[in-house]
Amino acid sequence: MYSNDEILDRFWKAGREFLNTRYAIMGGAMSWVSEHNLVAAISNAGGFGVIAGGAMPPELLKGEIEKTKALTKNSFGVNLITMHPQLDALMDVCIGTKVGHVILAGGIPSGQAIKKLKDAGIKVLCFAPALVLAKRLVKAGTDALILEGTEAGGHIGPVATNILVQEIVPYIKEVPVFVAGGIGSGEMMAAFLSMGVAGCQLGTRFVCTTECIAHPNFKKAFIHANARDAMPTVQIDPRFPVIPVRAITNEGTKRFMEFQMETIQKYQNGEMELKDAQMAIENYWGGALRRAVIDGDVENGSLMAGQSVGLVKEEKSVQAVIDELVADAAGALRRLSNIPA
């Protein structure tokens, strides 16, 4: 009789040891959501919580790290956006507070940034949207990769998770490879683990947990949503680029489409410079996520969610979610490997 831990260790031991956790389950970094309460709860439940650095200034990030450490003695990480104007200062905060892992997101990081963190003894994870970039990141010294598919919530790329896994995992053996995007069940985790990934990252599934500080209205929107409700934003004019953001459609989504058309018309009428019009569209969602997550304005705010939102049916504790994921993943791997119950 093998325990769930023993079965899973056949598949995710390398990922678990890399993260220094009981389970190779990472929490996705969600701005305004992945703060110290949720991060610590995920780590205390055996997973790997990740603070969403997002647009945080250095002092705020330092406070979040210290608050997280006060709530858990277990391993957790910090997600930093490579395009942040204070990236160096944020890395200094992570170094000074002795964070064990940093995830560099929002673009391909420089070799200098990777080296700075590694020289300080921090393990670095980077997102790889294609095999050629995965190889480049490994060569640059990244310690692990994350493959995030278009099914994920928030800012997304164009390629599905299962395609990225098939394209990249068989050819990267030097470092652990984690996978994210559209994962909402233990059975799905088991499928990816059987394909050779080192662990899985989930974000949407952790929003409707008792430890998550998101407004009750935000959580209700997730519980009532179907997978098809989480749609990416649409770019109207290639001269005004929009990085797709997957979110539950609402009045704010419709208003964004109208705003793009109005802004483009102002540019065409000579009322705005091209650069100003582009910036206005880019900054439209500034504050919109906070309005939904913190203030509960689910009509006009941004309801960023992955397609796995259709699998979220009720609010549970983080421990209950992780226990369910682990039990279901182990059960699926028992069947897959013909291991007796």
Average confidence score pLDDT of the chain:
95
Mean pLDDT over 257-279 rounds to 89
Contact 233, 253 (CB under 8 A): yes
- Residue the block writes with tokens 């770019």: 235
257 or 9, which is more confident? 9
For residue 289, pLDDT over 70 is answered with yes
Per-residue model confidence as pLDDT tens digits over 85-98: 899 999 999 999 99
Using CA atoms, how far apart are residues 109 and 83, in angstroms rounded to an integer?
9
CA-angle at 327, arms to 36 and 24, nearest 5°: 45
For residue 337, pLDDT over 90 is answered with no
**Given pLDDT bands bounded at 50, 70 and 90, which one contains residue 46?**
very high
Mean pLDDT over 4-33 rounds to 97
**In the chain, domain spans:** 4-214+313-337, 226-304
Per-residue model confidence as pLDDT tens digits over 219-238: 999 999 999 999 998 888 88
**Given pLDDT bands bounded at 50, 70 and 90, which one contains residue 341?**
low
243 or 82, which is more confident? 82
CATH class of 4-214+313-337: alpha beta
For residue 322, pLDDT over 90 is answered with yes
- Residue the block writes with tokens 């039990």: 327
21 or 341, which is more confident? 21
pLDDT of residue 212: 98
The structure tokens listed for 115 are 């080296």
For residue 73, pLDDT over 70 is answered with yes
